[in-house]
Amino acid sequence: MRRRARCSHISLCLARIDGGTSRVLRKQERHRGAWLRWCHRMSTTSTVTVSLDELGTIVEASPIPLYFQLIKLIEEKIRANEWLPGQSLPSEQAFCDHFGLSRTVVRQAFADLEHRGLLKKRNGKKTTISHPEYRGALMQSLRGFHEEAERGGQNPRTKVLEFKTIPADANVARKLGIAEGAKVILLTRLRYLGDRPEVFVKTYLNYERCVSLLSEDFSDKSLYRVLEQKLGLVIAKGVRTIRAIALNSREAALLKVKPKSPALLLSSVGFLADGTALEYFVAKHRGDHTEFEVQLIR
């Protein structure tokens, strides 16, 4: 009797061990499959090296500097989407041999394109075409996202999520200098560079000054440009603050990142020349693709 009980106990333990081993093996197989898929993605995108055969020519006798001619040739390929983000460039020496240029000229061109966010160079690795990044001077100028992106040669677009009249809560009322509960216009947008979402922004506008904007389509327009050209309203001064935050689940889903991913929160109040607060916005920029530039003078 005891022997049968002991045998049953041993059989049960072996069954549990076997079941646990199977679960471990299945989990390892899933991880292995995910790893192989990742390797395949990397091998089919980031390892592609672009060709110099159809890049054009550089004219040595031209008054235009050689490095600037090379910059334009590379930039045209990137802007035309013939060279895609993640693809690698040939070596500096390959450029030298192809065009008959010095290493100094090639390095100067690469450095300029890297500074403008079109190329990315890492130590010991090939130079690659950068994914679009937002590099703005919003902390030192009163241009908006659309204008800053266009100024940097990028392709901004917008998805309008909300555009309506709402009562101002206490915070919005304080920012715009109006009574709590007074009408304001809420414009909620998801801002893109190319096909990638970069900024989630809520803008609150002075209702009395901006009510005629409710008929506008801001999917492909600059708010500041419309304010100036159609209403004659120019943001003459502003107060902006920036701080680091973690995105909540909804914001992360819109920006296609994981919940609690880092972001830069930029808040701003824009004033007319007479001191009237015209707009208040809160913009949440993806932390992995945003860089703000501030120039200081002593």
Average pLDDT in the 27-40 region? Answer: 44
Task: Identify whether the C-beta of residue 189 lies closer than 8 Å to the C-beta of residue 153.
Answer: no
Give me the CATH code for the 66-129 domain, please.
1.10.10.10
> What DSSP state is assigned to residue 274?
T
Average pLDDT in the 65-75 region? Answer: 90
Q: What is the pLDDT of residues 201-258, one digit of tens each?
A: 999 999 999 999 999 999 888 898 899 999 999 999 988 888 999 999 999 999 999 9
Distance CA 25, CA 22 (A): 5
Among the residue ranges 189-198, 229-238, 245-254, 263-272, the one predicted with the least confidence is 189-198
Task: Identify whether the C-beta of residue 134 lies closer than 8 Å to the C-beta of residue 289.
Answer: yes
Most confident of 47-61, 99-113, 116-130, 279-293: 99-113
What share of the chain in percent tops pLDDT 70?
73
Query: What pLDDT was estimated at residue 26?
Result: 52
What radius of gyration, in Å, describes the C-alpha atoms of the chain?
A: 27
Query: What pLDDT was estimated at residue 184?
Result: 97
Average pLDDT in the 22-39 region? Answer: 45
Query: What pLDDT was estimated at residue 15?
Result: 47
Q: At a CB cut-off of 8 Å and minimum separation 6, what does 103 contact?
A: 92, 93, 96
- CATH 1.10.10.10 domain locations along the chain: 66-129
Burial call 44-71: b when 16+ CB within 10 Å, e when fewer? eeeeeebebeebeebeeeeeeebbebbb
Q: At a CB cut-off of 8 Å and minimum separation 6, what does 86 contact?
A: 45, 46, 48, 128, 129, 131
Specify whether the backbone of 255 is left (phi greater than 0), alpha (psi in -120 to 50) or beta: alpha
Q: What is the pLDDT of residues 140-182, one digit of tens each?
A: 455 666 666 666 666 778 999 999 999 999 999 999 999 999 9
pLDDT of 194 over the 90 cut: no
Task: Identify whether the C-beta of residue 276 lies closer than 8 Å to the C-beta of residue 172.
Answer: no
Mean pLDDT of the chain: 79
Strand partners of residue 283:
201, 266
In a 3-state reduction of DSSP, which class is residue 173? helix
Tell which wins on pLDDT, 248 or 15: 248
Tell which wins on pLDDT, 30 or 159: 159
Most confident of 51-55, 65-69, 113-117, 177-181: 177-181
Distance CA 110, CA 130 (A): 12
Which secondary structure element, helix H or strand E, spans residue 252, and what is its range?
helix 249-255
Query: What pLDDT was estimated at residue 187?
Result: 97
Query: What pLDDT was estimated at residue 176?
Result: 95
Query: What pLDDT was estimated at residue 36?
Result: 40
Alpha-helix residue ranges (DSSP H) falling in 125-165 = 145-151
> What DSSP state is assigned to residue 40?
H
- CATH 3.40.1410.10 domain locations along the chain: 134-292
CATH topology of domain 134-292: Chorismate lyase (3.40.1410)
